[in-house]
Structure 1
Amino acid sequence: MSNTPKIQDDSVAAPVAVRAAWLADGRGACFAPGVLVLRGHTVVAAGSPESVGVPGGAVTWVDASDSAVMPALVNAHTHLDLTLVPRIPEPEHFFQWLGGVRSARLSMTADDVRQSVLAGVQRLDAGGVAAVGDIAGTHALLASLAACADMGLEGCVFEEVFGMGPRVAACLAAMEAMTLEAAGHARGIRRGVQPHAPYSSDRRVFEAALRSGAPVSTHLAESVDKLRSVGRDFLCRRPPSDRLDGRTAPGRGSRFGRTTDARPVRPPQRY
């Protein structure tokens, strides 16, 4: 909107004009100082004071001369249910940090989860976030849907699921039940599903997620440390037919209920 023509006196009915110390228009153009003109929820002009001009008529001026004004932010991947998980003090390595977070999360009650989600949503709002992709763990899906909707956030809350080996049937049943339970709770924010990752959810879980018609998210890239923590050589070169097949090498992955096979595990490689 950097080439917006000057506003004529009668071109905007009851406009609101914001005078800012610094303004970004969302397309890379920045102005210092800047003026933003709104009509309702519609931006009708943005730019330098000279390029925008002075709206006439019953204009309401908002003084943000000590502030930066920019388009709202998008947090595309967050875990609101972990907002109040205590900071792990100076972990020596990734496994220690991951174990501390997992232990703290498993100890949370349903009410703890709701409070953590609410705190996270409030921080999003305070930080200027208008759209979110939340990855909801146990007890968090409905709490996140409600909290995000109440705050007026747009986006999607993804129910995170794990399913390998003997846990697949229970995972599929839980996905179906949660789909029914979440129906009608969204109120403007969508409900999605996230099979955690190809090393923790097998092909049937991904296929069920895609058949659901809901938005789908997953972890396709992980740190080398995290891959080692679950005993999966996901970054190694393997034929596509070997992926998402529910098989894995022995290791910490047993916590996800997955099966094992005798194929050797090669160390992760970066590409």
Structure 2
Amino acid sequence: MADLIIKGGIVLTMDGAFIDNGTVVVDNGLITFVGKDTKEKADKVIDARGCAVMPGLINAHTHVPMTLFHGYADGLSYGEWIKKIQLAEMNLTPADVRSGAYLGVLEMIRSGTTTFADMYFHEDEVAQVVQGSGLRAALGYGMIEGLNEDAETKLKSREKFAKKWKGAADGRITTMYAPHSSVSCSKEFLIRVKELAARDNSRVHIHVLETENELKTMKERYGMCSINHLNSIGLLGSGVVAAHCIWLSDDDIDILKDKDGNVVHCPSSNMALGAGIAPVPQMLEKGINVALGTDGAASGGSLDMWKEMRSASLLHRLKDPRAMPAYTVLKMATVNGARALGINAGALAPGKLADIIVVDIKKPQFMSPNPVSALVHGASGCDVRTTIVNGKVLMEDRRVVGLDEEKIIRDAGYAMRNIIE
């Protein structure tokens, strides 16, 4: 007998197929069957009639505890924004980070995100929240060279974090090394990060060319841009997750393609901070793996990946209405995210991790002959009915399991007031 059967919905497998009145069977954390019907029995059956059944969304770049700064520095230039946020972050305690992480995890469960890639400080607090919440995460303890600790102490503590949490929470937690950027970390420091990541078989998560100022600074400092710099020290490739990648040249795109790099597009944050428009259609045309992320809620506004998909699609249609079709964007938020983070998820097929969401499409905005377009352009997190990770139901019929929502919101409110005051 299987653990779980989801039946009766429109199943989006992400291999181009739609199965009307389909069935998905889950056992021991894995998908074992996807099709029209099965004689298999299960301990639990979810009736998905009137719903889309699809892979959980993957937020491939965020700073989850920054939910505490929703709107705090809204309407400022990037330079003004970062100064105001960093001043507030100096007041953050580990307990505050935990409160912000719980708030973010709650938002993600309620909006259908099943995996997220995080980069922040006090990351042990985030790991503990992930462990208790049931979500899947790729976690990196952020590193800015010269801040708080000497370089070697910082590297050793991050190595300790990576080893402690790798494979924790029944395998739901993977760990990465997370140097902030090429500007905030020296060449020598990044080489050490590369060596540690290679030794641990871990990925590296780093901001790359988020701003024009980074491009100018790198050319002044090293005579080359961040992509060439990272490539020169061997820190590009399938094991590197490069967030933003806005200020890329054609040569940079070719290097990313040659090195099999992973890029994470964060359109809402990029627009909110006036950072620029990443050349995503060009990267996709070259065959580069481009995933999708919200960035932190302080800039992106929320952790709702539905909003992020819609932003990604519409932003790039300003120049070409044929750019970024709905299926491409949905693939960025599922299949491509899984590839970037190195997890066996992002699609519904036997052998894949059972990270699944059920979306209520019995609403006017979903009455369409093109269900993917209707979802990408019409859905929000509020339309997600059920969220499943590792075969475990984290939310059913909009009721979150195992988390005290009122306490999470109350604690986050206290933390916000303490930080800002």
Q: Within 2, Cα distance between the matches of 1:67 and 1:126?
A: 16
SS in 1 for 2:217: coil
Alpha-carbon distance between aligned partners in 1 of 2:148 and 2:63, rounded to the nearest angstrom:
23
Partner SS for 1:218:
strand
Match of residue 82 from structure 2: 98
| Distance (whole Å) between structure 2 residues aligned to residue 38 and residue 200 of structure 1 | 44
For the 8 Å contact 2:222–2:229, the answer to whether it is kept is: no
User: Closer, same or farther in 2 for the Cα pair 1:238/1:142, shift >3 Å?
Assistant: same
2:47 corresponding residue in structure 1: 63
For residue 130 of structure 1, report the CA deviation from its aligned partner.
2.8
| Residue identity in the other structure for 1:41 | G
State how far apart, in whole Å, the 2-side matches of 1:236 and 1:108 are. Answer: 32
Higher normalized contact order (CA 8 Å, seq sep 6+, divided by chain length): 2
CA distance in 2, matches of 1:180, 1:40: 30
- Gaps of at least 5 residues in structure 1 are 1-12, 245-267
Contact 1:193 1:209 in 2 (8 A): yes
Is residue 160 of structure 2 the alignment partner of residue 176 of structure 1? no
Q: Quick one: which of 113, 120, 132 aligns to 1:129?
A: 113
How large is the RMSD of aligned CA atoms in angstroms? 3.5
- Given residue 217 of structure 2, which amino acid in structure 1 is its aligned partner? R
- CA positional deviation for 1:91: 1.0
Match of 1:29 among 17, 20, 23: 17
User: Which of 126, 131, 136 is the aligned partner of 1:149?
Assistant: 131
Where does residue 31 of structure 2 map in the other structure? 43
Identity percentage of aligned residues: 20
Give the match's secondary structure for 2:209: coil
Per the alignment, do residues 23 and 184 of structure 1 end up closer, same or farther by CA in structure 2, a change over 3 Å counting? same
Tell me, yes or no, if the aligned pair for 1:22 and 1:67 is still in contact at 8 Å: yes
* Correspondence for 1:227: 214
1:193 and 1:107 mapped to 2: Cα distance? Answer: 24
Residues 224-268 of structure 1 deviation map (CA, whole Å, 9 limit, x = unaligned): 2x538xx61459994589947xxxxxxxxxxxxxxxxxxxxxxx7
One-letter amino acid matched to 2:207: H
The answer on 1:160 being equivalent to 2:148 is no
Distance 1:69 1:191 in 2: 29
Per-residue deviation, 1:223: 2.8
* Distance in 2 of aligned mates of 1:56 and 1:160: 45
The runs of 5 or more residues in structure 2 that have no matched partner are: 231-246, 251-421
**Deviation of the 1:81 alpha carbon:** 1.9
Residues 43/178 of structure 1: CA separation in 2 closer, same or farther (3 Å cut) = closer
What is the CA deviation profile of residues 156-185 of structure 1, one whole-angstrom value per residue up to 9, with x for unaligned ones? 211111126xx6980221221343366434
Corresponding residue number in structure 1 for 2:190: 206
Deviations 1:170-221 (A, max 9, x none): 0221221343366434523233221111111012211221222342221223
Greater CA radius of gyration, 1 or 2? 1
Query: Quick one: distance in 2 between partners of 1:234 and 1:29?
Result: 47
- State TM-score, norm by structure 1: 0.68
1:82, CA displacement in angstroms?
A: 0.8
**Distance apart, 1:112 and its partner CA:** 1.0
What is the SS of the residue equivalent to 2:206?
coil
Structure that is richer in helix per residue: 2
Query: What residue identity is the alignment partner of 2:23?
Result: V
1:74, 1:34 → 2: CA distance? 23
